[in-house]
Amino acid sequence: MRRPATRWIAGSLSVLPKPQDRPLLDILASGRYKTGPGPKVTTNRTMPIEPLYPLHFRPILKRLIWGGRRLGSILDKPLGGESDYAESWEVADHKNDVSVVADGPLAGRDLRSLIAEFGETLLGSSVGVRAQFPLLVKFLDAHQVLSVQVHPDDAKARVLVEDNGKTEAWVILHAEPGSLIYAGLRPGVTREAFAESLETGEVEPLLHRFAPKVGDCVMIPAGTVHAIGAGIVLAEIQQMSDATFRVYDWGRVGADGSPRTLHKPQALEATDYEAGPVHPHPARADAIAGGTRERLASCDYFAIERLRLTGAAEVGSLERFTLVLAIEGAAEIVHDGASYPIARGQTRLLPAALGPCEIRPIGEATVLTCVVP
């Protein structure tokens, strides 16, 4: 079966280019060579050049006062000796935090340079050329409760913080007994009541809360006041943004002994007072080849599915890139006859040009797939 995105080069090459052959790869990626069914060649040989493969990035670990060590103990992240590992940014292209490829021929390359170089070959025609990779994927360990916060939508973020808006979704991977998610204002809480609570510090009573279960998916549209409670480990999929307005920090102090900065005026502006309480998103499991598929969340920015696999299934699409996060067990993704392992706590980016790839669980595996709709 032909792959429309395979690039071909005609001529006297006798070997595939190596990653250090930058000029050649740059020319190939520039699009000046034809994509499609292959060129009309007048020379005596052609060969496919397809440098993209299922990409795995080095985790970007963030230490914050609410973090712990479960990114290591549960998700096998390579932690140092500290006690406050809060986030592992799996796929990121945000200001100075840009993911770097961990292995394979593109090891050492950063995501920003890859989307600049490969454009739609990587992102897909339905995503289009972008200056910035559109999604941010993280794992979080809330050893302590996070601050109560709210994120702006796109329009307000551009005015207030020169960043993108931030709609996010969580998939709960671990929840200790009694742990809580705070999501949304209770019904009837007005801007005036919320503003008053920020002055008195009586914010918690205004927040809707529930005890999450492993597997719950929680959608947090921009404008939703929220906090992740102590004892929760989750996967977070969001717009590529770090626009966070902290409104309440439970009276604690930061590493330097003083309270962390709050952003009350911006938060009052960013909050959606009509949205009300947020509940876990119900999901129905449909049978597919190899297991089941659940549509967990869908919005303008991303769509998330969960595949529970006991046999081989398919991931990826020629129209758009696909992020695959392993959340239980381990699997391998097969592309061009090669196998790319993915184990719990790992993420791979399937460039659009790869098209559908087979994913084979090793025993059983559960993965999340994330795409831009």
Catalytic residues: 246
Q: Nearest Cα to 297, choosing from 174, 184, 171?
A: 171
Q: Nearest Cα to 135, choosing from 94, 104, 101?
A: 94
Which residues, other chains included, contact 32 with Cβ-Cβ below 8 Å and sequence gap of 6+?
none
The CA-atom distances, in angstroms, between 258 and each of 8, 230, 235, 249, 253 are 59, 21, 30, 12, 5
CA 138 to chain centre: 6
63: number of Cβ within 10 Å: 14
- Rounded CA separation 184/19 (Å): 48
Q: Nearest Cα to 148, choosing from 184, 172, 113?
A: 184
Question: Taking the alpha carbons of 337, 338, 343, 349 in that order, is the dihedral positive or negative?
Answer: negative
Residue 296: which H helix or E strand, with range? strand 291-298
DSSP 206: G
Query: Length of the chain in residues, anyone?
Result: 373
- The helix/strand/coil state of 123 is helix
Identity of residue 244:
T
